[in-house]
């Protein structure tokens, strides 16, 4: 049976962060109803002929579920699907919502990777971006997770925050290195419509670092983390040897995945499909039909090739030309020769014969490179 990655979306948070445009809501009273719908959707897909190689429960904040709800969700998954023995099983967590008991039930349920949202070690910044935890609160939960047996932890940081200085961000990176998590994700702040930050920006009240400073933060992350023993394996992701996120690698290498929950996307047999976005509509639709698919699209060969290369270029090692040939029966150069030539001239990509990858400059201007491959 072919392997597939499974994503489960839990769209609830205690409070909405000022920069957040994820599909998340603060109406926690709906959690039990939503959980029932998820379990129905899980059973809807239970006869899928695939082995689950990784599970990622993301959000939102999955750890808003209580000590009974968390294992009941995992039990539903384990009862419904064929699970690979070497499963990577990640749960995202906001430090403030973690308890010793929740960590224990997650470990017992086979969760072997935790992804903690820290964002910064600077309490003033944490408050300004609407996070509900402090740096000290994070530290406490990080050590609690270690004590509970989590030996594979990712920590998220954001850079380019309002009034953040390059030194502030470097300080957060160094403090994080002292903790030695297995994986670090560093995202650049992006101000999206519908967020509190967007409103402030419109009013001229959001004071972001300059583009140069923002790039210096990214370069600092690469330097400091690489010196600290992490390999930079994806535009925004760093891992200790062998600790790359296997679930996310499925997306970047154009593998198949099933997404469950409000707004979740799936990609199976060349067909992309996604669920209704709003969690109340999701609950209604699952009640009616057992699943909540809003749209299905069979991707053309051209679309699939473009997605393959755009996703693959996110990886620092680049796009595997042999894999492209195996998948599409065509040489990468015969399809994208012109685009590759233009990007080489701009020094955004290099081709070593086996892989096509972004250069240092290309990592900074990745979107400019991706556009060249759009159909």
Contact positions toward ligand SF4, by CB under 6 A? 13, 16-17, 20, 22, 24, 59-61, 94, 117
Q: Which is nearer to ligand SF4, 94 or 185 (CB)?
A: 94
Which residues are registered as beta bridge partners of 25?
12
Q: Which is nearer to ligand SF4, 12 or 81 (CB)?
A: 12
CB of 226 to ligand SF4, least distance (A): 27
178, exposed or middle or buried, with CB in 10 Å at 0-12, 13-18, 19+? exposed
CB of 93 to ligand SF4, least distance (A): 10
CB of 16 to ligand SF4, least distance (A): 5
Q: Which is nearer to ligand SF4, 23 or 37 (CB)?
A: 23
Q: Which is nearer to ligand SF4, 59 or 209 (CB)?
A: 59
CB of 19 to ligand SF4, least distance (A): 7
Q: Which is nearer to ligand SF4, 84 or 134 (CB)?
A: 134
CB of 237 to ligand SF4, least distance (A): 17
Q: In angstroms, rounded to a whole number, what is the distance separating the alpha carbons of residues 19 and 33?
A: 27
CB of 281 to ligand SF4, least distance (A): 19
Q: Which is nearer to ligand SF4, 94 or 305 (CB)?
A: 94
């Amino acid at each position: 049976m072919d392997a597939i990655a499974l994503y489960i979306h839990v769209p609830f948070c205690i409070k909405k962060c000022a920069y957040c445009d994820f599909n998340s809501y603060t109406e926690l009273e709906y959690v039990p109803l939503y959980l029932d719908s998820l379990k129905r959707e899980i059973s809807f897909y239970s006869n899928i002929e695939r082995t689950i190689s990784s599970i990622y429960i993301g959000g939102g904040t999955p750890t808003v579920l209580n000590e009974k709800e968390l294992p009941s969700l995992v039990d539903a998954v384990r009862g419904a699907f064929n699970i690979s023995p070497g499963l990577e099983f990640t749960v995202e967590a906001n430090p403030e919502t973690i308890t010793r008991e929740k960590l224990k039930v997650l470990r017992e349920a086979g969760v072997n990777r935790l992804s903690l949202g820290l964002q910064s070690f600077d309490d003033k910044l944490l408050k300004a971006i609407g996070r509900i935890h402090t740096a000290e609160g994070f530290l406490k939960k990080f050590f609690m997770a270690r004590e509970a047996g989590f030996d594979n932890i990712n920590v998220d940081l954001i850079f380019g925050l309002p009034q953040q200085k390059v030194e502030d961000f470097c300080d957060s990176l160094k403090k994080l290195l002292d903790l030695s998590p297995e994986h670090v994700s560093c995202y650049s702040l992006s101000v999206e419509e519908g967020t509190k930050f967007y409103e402030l920006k419109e009013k001229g009240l959001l004071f972001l670092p300059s583009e140069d400073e923002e790039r210096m933060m990214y370069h600092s992350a690469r330097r400091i983390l690489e010196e600290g023993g992490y390999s930079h394996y994806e535009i925004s992701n760093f891992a200790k040897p062998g600790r790359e996120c296997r679930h996310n690698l499925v997306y970047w290498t154009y593998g198949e995945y099933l997404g469950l929950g409000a707004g979740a996307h799936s990609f199976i047999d060349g067909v992309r499909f996604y669920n209704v976005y709003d969690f109340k509509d999701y609950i209604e639709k699952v009640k009616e039909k057992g699943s909540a698919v809003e749209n299905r699209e069979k991707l053309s060969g051209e679309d699939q090739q473009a997605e393959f290369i755009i996703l693959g270029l996110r990886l620092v090692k680049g796009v595997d030309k042999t894999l492209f040939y195996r998948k599409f029966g065509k040489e990468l150069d015969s399809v994208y020769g012109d685009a590759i030539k233009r990007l080489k001239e701009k020094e955004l990509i290099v081709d070593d014969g086996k892989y096509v990858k972004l250069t240092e400059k290309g990592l900074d201007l990745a979107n400019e490179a991706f556009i060249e491959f759009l159909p």
